[in-house]
Every structure is written in structure tokens, then in C-alpha cells.
Amino acid sequence: MISIGVIDTLGMTSAIEALDVCTKTADVRLVSCERIKGGIVSLTITGEVAAVAYAVDAGVAAAQRLDGYLNHTIIARLDEQTGMLFESPPPVPAPKPGPEPEPASELEPEPEAEPEPEKASDPEHLPATQAAPAAVVKKKPAPKPAQKKPAPKQPQKKNDEKA
């Protein structure tokens, strides 16, 4: 049979000490640890009836040693519908290891490339927004002129006649 035990303490230190003693003395499991106004901390444990009773008694003694004990209660043979209040949701399975997906880019998505318009052979059939492409003539670069070697110096003829 499943039962619930609740221990109310004043201060987190007393609650930690009480919970430590509870879990070490009997086979119980912590269901919740709630902080309430005014420094009150409420511990809820669950387990078999005898284990919860023994654990709560030990936890109360530990909280009393620290002057932090306020109240306690044990609910033995917990009803199924009441137990639903304390059930935790089923654990979420861990993701299977594998290649990590690439993180989604937070940047704006790239615009899709616009399809190229069909080329019309006749410029008259093009829409008004499209101008006919200018004829592109590729000019071949002019060959570089060959460098001329300087001519050998010739002796100059003297003109006897002066004009």
C-alpha cells in the first residue's frame, strides 16, 4: 500500500536535514518540496506505509534538533484518486544520440532566384519593361606593336653645299 508523509519545517536548513534523514532511514521518495510564506517549507514523501511512518518519525526528530519543526502528518493507504494529486507526469525520453541538426538560421531567408525570361528573337515582342539587349561586340585586344631595334648608326655625309 502506498502512503504519503508531510513534514512542515521553519527554514530550509531544517527541511534539508529532515529530508536527508528521511531518505537515509527508509525506502521513501521525495514528491515535492514547497516553500511557503514566512519561511515555512513543506516536504512530501511517498512509499510503503511502514517506511513512510518510520521516515517521518526520524525526519521530525531531526527537524526538532534544529528547532525547525512545525507539523507533520501521515496518510496511510492513500486512495487512488487522491494519489493522482501527487503523481508526476511520465518522464520524457531522452533524445537518441545521432547527428545534430543544424540550427535554424535567424537571418532572413534568401530570396528565391527569379527565373530568366525567355529570349525573344524579335525585340518588338518584348514587353515594354524589358528593353532589347544591346548588341555586345567583343573586341579582340589589339596586338602589341613589336619593339623595333635601333638601327645601327651610319656615318653622316657632309654636304659641301650650303643652302
pLDDT in tens, 135-146: 555 666 666 666
State the pLDDT at residue 27.
Answer: 92
* This prediction's pTM: 0.52
State the pLDDT at residue 98.
Answer: 65
Name every residue whose Cβ is closer than 8 Å to that of residue 59 and which is 6 or more positions away in sequence. 5, 7, 18, 19, 21, 22, 43, 45, 72
DSSP codes of every residue in 31-54: EEEEEEGGGEEEEEEEEEHHHHHH
Choose from 55-69, 113-127, 147-161 the range with maximum mean pLDDT.
Answer: 55-69
Strand partners, 71: 8
- Domain ranges, ordered by start, for the chain: 2-83
Percent pLDDT > 70 in the chain is: 53
Nearest to 59 by CA among 48, 44, 47, 49: 44
- What CATH topology corresponds to 2-83? Alpha-Beta Plaits (3.30.70)
State the pLDDT at residue 57.
Answer: 95
The string of pLDDT tens digits covering residues 33-69 is 999 989 999 999 999 999 999 999 999 999 999 999 9
Taking the C-alpha atoms of residue 10 and residue 97, their distance in angstroms, rounded to an integer, is 44
State the pLDDT at residue 77.
Answer: 85
